[in-house]
């Protein structure tokens, strides 16, 4: 496995590659990330000439608000590289801020407000500008034919898909299913911030979303669905357990627009809530 720190070094390493499968990460890897690498490896190996799997490790300052955890975000580079190599990754792109942003990044990607300023974007203003800008730049550096993202960051996956479509980028975007602990807790780099007691409690987010999803299924089946009441009940469930929820909501999968009653389109329930000092997100497709 090769490690490139500069864009020029990366491009030299990738010159012989006929097919490039790419997984962008911020490091501090867990099994969910490794699932993405495995999927990229499978797709690369399925080519007539086996392709090259590239992973990036870069903690992107542009997507962190001033009060968020950029400086304290876990950085575990050596361990990450060991895990990536064991999964068959060929190239790791690990630029410094100076490598990727040699001058202030004043050109930025601004996704449409109706997709990016809701849900996560409403509580983290500018987040998807930072995500879209760095992903677009990484795509330009790697020039992949395929890129793999996790469905746990559901809205992010949709923003990236829309960007690729709008910008006519020749990249296939694949969403990988959320990897969960045996308890049902979605794996996340931020789970490491949780205390032992909080780690046990954290599964309540996925359980509350499951209950909300079941209410939606039953309401659609019976032809009567009070979405506002179901969402409010889900929020109250977490509040009573000491959480501080930002949202628990039911949306259409294709554009994350809200529903107001019975809806037979594919849906997704999404939630974000703070447990102690740690903000967790999760979702379930319905």
Extended strands (E) in 146-196: 146-150, 172-176
Decide: helix, strand or coil at residue 133: helix
- The pLDDT tens digits of the residues spanning 186-218 come to 999 999 999 999 999 999 999 999 999 999 999
Q: Which residues are catalytic?
A: 33
Q: What is the pLDDT of residue 70?
A: 93
Q: Which residues contact 22 (CB under 8 A, 6 or more apart)?
A: 40, 53, 54, 55, 56, 138, 139, 142, 144, 146, 147, 148
- pLDDT confidence of residue 67: 87
The structure's pTM equals 0.95
**In the chain, which residues have pLDDT < 50?**
none
145 contacts 21 by C-beta, under 8 angstroms: yes
Q: How far apart are CA 177 and CA 68, in angstroms?
A: 27
All structural domains of the chain: 2-176 (3.40.50.620), 189-285 (3.30.1300.10)
């Amino acid at each position: 496995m090769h490690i490139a720190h500069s864009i020029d070094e990366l491009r030299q390493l990738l010159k012989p590659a006929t097919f490039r499968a790419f997984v962008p990460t911020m490091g501090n890897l867990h099994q969910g990330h490794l699932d993405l690498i495995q999927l990229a490896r499978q797709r690369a190996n399925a080519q007539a000439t086996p392709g090259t799997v590239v992973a990036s490790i870069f903690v992107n300052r542009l997507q962190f608000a001033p009060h968020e955890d950029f400086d304290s975000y876990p950085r575990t580079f050596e361990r990450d590289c060991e895990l990536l190599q064991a999964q068959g990754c060929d190239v790791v792109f690990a630029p410094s801020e100076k490598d990727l942003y040699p001058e202030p990044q004043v050109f930025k990607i601004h996704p449409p407000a109706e997709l990016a300023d809701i849900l996560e974007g409403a509580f983290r203003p500018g987040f998807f500008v930072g995500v879209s800008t760095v992903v677009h730049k990484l795509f330009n550096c790697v020039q992949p034919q395929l890129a793999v993202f996790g469905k746990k960051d559901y809205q992010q996956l949709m923003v990236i898909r829309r960007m690729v479509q709008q910008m006519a980028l020749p990249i296939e975007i694949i969403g990988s299913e959320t990897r969960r602990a045996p308890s049902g807790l979605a794996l996340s780099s931020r789970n490491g911030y949780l205390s032992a007691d909080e780690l046990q409690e954290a599964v309540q987010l996925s359980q509350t979303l499951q209950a909300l999803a079941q209410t939606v299924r039953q309401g659609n089946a019976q032809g009567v669905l009070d979405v506002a009441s179901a969402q409010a009940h889900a929020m109250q469930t977490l509040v009573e357990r000491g959480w501080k929820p930002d949202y628990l909501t039911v949306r259409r999968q294709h554009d994350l627009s809200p529903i107001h009653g019975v809806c037979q389109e594919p849906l997704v329930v999404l939630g974000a809530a703070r447990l102690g000092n740690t903000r967790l997100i999760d979702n379930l497709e319905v």
